[in-house]
Structure 1
Amino acid sequence: MQRDDLIDLNAFLAVAEERSFTRAAARLGLSQSALSHAIRRLEGRIGVRLLSRTTRSVSPTDAGESLLQSLVPALDQIDQQLAMLNELRERPAGTIRITAPAHAAQTVLWPAACRIMRRYPEIAIEISVDPALRDIVADRFDAGVRLGEQVARDMIAVRIGPDLRMAAVAAPAYLAGHGMPRTPQDLAAHRCVNLRMTTSGGLYAWELEQGTRSLNVRVEGQFISNDVRMVVGAAVAGLGLAFVPEDYVLAEIAAGTLVRVMEDWCPPFPGYHLYYPSRRQPRPAFALLIEELIHRG
């Protein structure tokens, strides 16, 4: 079937249903002469008359009625298929791949992803937990989540979480035996639990700030781990002071198994941002996730 066949068949259907060239032309947005040409072209190819014309009316011939009976359901089926394809295009579906560090994945990204997947079964989400900054274009990620200060300037960054805060903590028994540190200089006299950075392999220097003063303090102690939860466990066990994201120890502080120290040296800092490389119209599934992270994160 040629493209002109579909055009001419649609023209015939309009005339047969409207029983008027004038109304059919208006319905199709064509001139009456163009519509008449389409009908003549179709009748010429088929070799039979499809419409009976008088000065007052237009009606299908027997051949036209026969064609009409098969044409209407066929075109209805095409319309339904096109509507289904359009719905599929608009309906959120597909896989979203995101890279994020463990803390961001657990506290910000996973709750939003879980809500999205429950509401939209055709959306799949892959979260790659990785502390290192990734080239999301080269590695074919749709987006990444990092602290705002880590996002490259050529990326679109959307804030998706509240301010964060670090907490210096220790077990009550440890503080009873070693005293309460009040300044960064006091840390030299204390045992501290170190966190090894999985990205660089080095030990994390405690980033302390008070007013305009910012200090990176390297500490020493008996225990080192690259896992924050193990660092918290060591602090609870009385092995020294620990410096970790606040939400990791809120339950322990509330229960009294850990005590917060040097709180005035731990101000809030900008939280997590979703970043992605293009200002093109995002896919419906990705747009939904952005909306969920912004408004319910």
Structure 2
Amino acid sequence: MDKSYYGQLHVFQTIALEGSISAAAKKLGVAVPSVSQSLKLLEQKIGVPLFQRTTRKIQLTEAGTMLLNSTLESMQTLNQAINEVQQFGSSPSGVVKITLARYSYQLMLKPYFAEFCQLYPDIQLEISVFDGTINLVEQGYDLGIRFGNTVEEGMVARQIFPSIREGLYASASYVEQFGIPKAPSELIGHKLVGYRFITANRLYPLTLIENGHEINVEMPTQLVTNDIDVMNDAIRSGVGIGRIFEPIAKSQSDYHQFIPVLQSHWISHPPVYLYYLQHSQKARRVKVLIDFLVGKMQEISI
């Protein structure tokens, strides 16, 4: 195979993942004409166009989609092999990208990332806090943290945190003004601080347990957010009753101000898992972060 294929495939994949030639050039740290020329040479060698171009956007052709799907994992494996050799006999170095929801960040990363950075000064830790669903391969992340162990083929899921209850809380000022419901049926007379999923753009239903079964409860809402910090602030301010994961609520400095509502009806979410590509832990920069986080979570559970 022509040795120039590697560099041209890398450029092609970056364009596909970034969504434009200019964004790929910025990501690669090279000039836009260089990226365009590399893509042109690859298309000439293959003999078919890989992208459909208009004045407003660029998108993969059928051949481009096939090439991306066929080469992405192989290129990542090759890059990991190169990284392993480069790091052999030296301290771990390079970029490690991790994606996680805000609750995961607050519970599992915020208390510890500074220590990790001190232990491994040659690793650049890139943290993306996002409550939506992320495809590690397509978005270029090394690790992710989320509920449940259902992952895509080729991924490893490793439990790092036990099941979490989703609490329902109100402030003292709210309870003083509106009282506290004694049964789920009474919630219709109260206000809920709503939560909206980022990726699905839909309101997250309020789910409780009643007589051993899950029920969805309809409540009027005056405020809707997609951020748990805003949720906490809204509860504190007496805007309404809101949902917070129990460990997050307990970590608040003013936790005594959060009054549990219908505690016996709270639902539980699955355990939290660290997930990553099957072979990514072979890269020392990734492995040390996996081992570090697993160790810290084991200390918490002891």
TM-score (norm 2): 0.63
The residue type equivalent to 1:107 in the other structure is L
Q: How far off its partner does 1:190 sit?
A: 0.9
CA distance in 1, matches of 2:171, 2:139: 43
What code does the residue aligned with 1:143 have?
Answer: L
Change (3 A) 1:218 1:197: farther
Q: Structure 1 stretch 245-254 or stretch 165-174: which is displaced more?
A: 245-254
Deviation at 1:211? 6.5
Cα 1:223/1:189, change in 2 over 3 Å: same
Instruction: Please identify runs of 4+ aligned residues in structure 1 that moved more than 4 A.
Output: 85-88, 251-255
Q: List per-residue Cα deviations over 1:239-266 (Å, max 9, x = no partner).
A: 2211122233326696542211111112
Gap change, CA 1:254 and 1:121, over 3 Å in 2: closer
1:239 aligned partner: 239
Change (3 A) 1:97 1:150: same
Query: 1:116 aligns to what SS in structure 2?
Result: helix
Verify the 8 A CA contact 1:196 1:225 in the aligned structure 2: yes
Partner Cα distance (1:243, 1:129) in 2: 19
**TM-fit CA distance, 1:229:** 1.7
State the shift of 1:224 in Å.
1.8
Residue identity in the other structure for 1:102: R
Instruction: Note the alpha carbon deviations across 1:201-253, whole angstroms, 9 max, x for none.
Output: 21111122357311233421222222222222222222221112223332669
For the pair shown, the structure with the greater C-alpha radius of gyration is: 1
2:157 alignment counterpart: 157
Partner of 1:108: helix, strand, or coil? helix
Per mean C-alpha deviation after superposition, the further-off stretch among 135-144 and 213-222 is 213-222
Pairing of 1:52-201 with structure 2 (within 5 A): 88-90=87-89, 91-148=91-148, 151-152=151-152, 154-201=154-201
Return closer, same or farther for 1:253/1:108 CA change in 2, 3 Å cut-off: closer
Which structure has more strand as a fraction of its residues?
2
Aligned counterpart, 1:36: none
User: SS of 1:185's equivalent?
Assistant: helix
CA offset digits 1:167-195 (Å, max 9, x no partner):
11112232233232133222111111112
Structure 2 counterpart of 1:214, which letter?
E
Match of 2:105, SS state, is helix
* Cα distance in structure 2, aligned partners of 1:207 and 1:232: 19
Is 1:282 aligned to 2:282, yes or no?
yes
Residue aligning to 2:44: none
SS at match of 2:182: coil
Letter of the aligned partner of 1:167 in structure 2?
G
How many residue pairs get aligned? The number is 213
SS of residue matched to 1:193: strand
Distance 1:211 1:169 in 2: 21
How far apart are the structure 2 equivalents of 1:127 and 1:137? Answer: 16
Task: Indicate the SS of the match to 2:134.
Answer: coil
Amino acid at match of 2:114: C
- Which residue of structure 1 aligns with residue 7 of structure 2? none
SS of 1:165 mapped into structure 2: strand
Gaps spanning 5+ residues in structure 2: where?
1-83, 298-302
8 A Cα contact 2:154 2:278, kept in partner: no
Return the alpha-carbon distance in structure 2 between the equivalents of residues 267 and 154 of structure 1.
31
Structure 1 residues 280 and 227: alpha-carbon distance in aligned structure 2, compared to 1, 3 A threshold = closer
Q: Unmatched 5+ residue regions in structure 1?
A: 1-84
